[in-house]
Amino acid sequence: MKKEIKRQLEDKKKARMKANLKWSFSLMFMAAIISIALSFVSEIAMQNVNIIIGTIVILVFIGIGILFDMIGVAVTSADEAPFHAMSSKKVKGAKMAVTLKKNANKVSSFCCDVIGDICGIISGAAGVAVAVSLASITGLPALASSLIVTGLIAALTIGGKSFEKSAAINNGNKILYEFAKVLSLFNKN
């Protein structure tokens, strides 16, 4: 009897490991596709760009990264119980919120690691174009303009994510619900 239970536990552990490995590879594939798409958009927007448009592009990518990081943190910190109650009353978005919460680790990985990190990388890459424009406009050495732009991008990204994390933890249910309502517009189930 003990051997049978032990075998079942080992089989479940192997199945979880296989599912985690499959998810990790799916995440890598999604990250590559999304990164290519966002990089393409960024590269097109940044060709022969002036400093104002370049700054706007950087701020948009920083904002997207912060938003998705907030969603990822909110999903992990939200309480599932209220969404079950709302779902039983057929409140729009509640069923999606339950699904998101049940998959919080995957949702958080996708939002924080895939979207958030890709936006961070792309905003840094876009910063190169802005640094070049800044150097040519101001006459600053390329190194100085690069350091200024990099410092500002890092400060805005880190500061924004720091601020949103406490907001996401304190308002996890509300943020999850709003995100679930938006997603439910695209889900026919």
Averages of pLDDT over each 10 residues, the chain, 189 residues: 76 79 82 81 72 90 95 95 91 92 92 88 87 90 93 94 92 95 83
- Structure token pair of residue 28: 């890598």
| pLDDT value for 49 | 73
Q: What is the pLDDT of residue 45?
A: 66
What confidence score (pLDDT) does residue 8 get? 77
pLDDT of residue 175: 96
Instruction: Provide the pLDDT for residue 5.
Output: 76
- Indicate left, alpha or beta for 180 from its phi (over 0: left) and psi (-120 to 50: alpha): alpha
* pLDDT of 125: 83
CA distance 126 to 62: 11
* Domain, as residue range, for 102: 2-184
pLDDT of residue 46: 67
Query: Is there a domain that residue 83 lies in?
Result: yes
In a domain, 189, yes or no: no
The rounded distance, in Å, linking the Cα atoms of 110 and 97 is 16
Please give the tally of structural domains in the chain. Answer: 1
Q: Which pLDDT value is given to residue 189? A: 60
pLDDT value for 81: 92
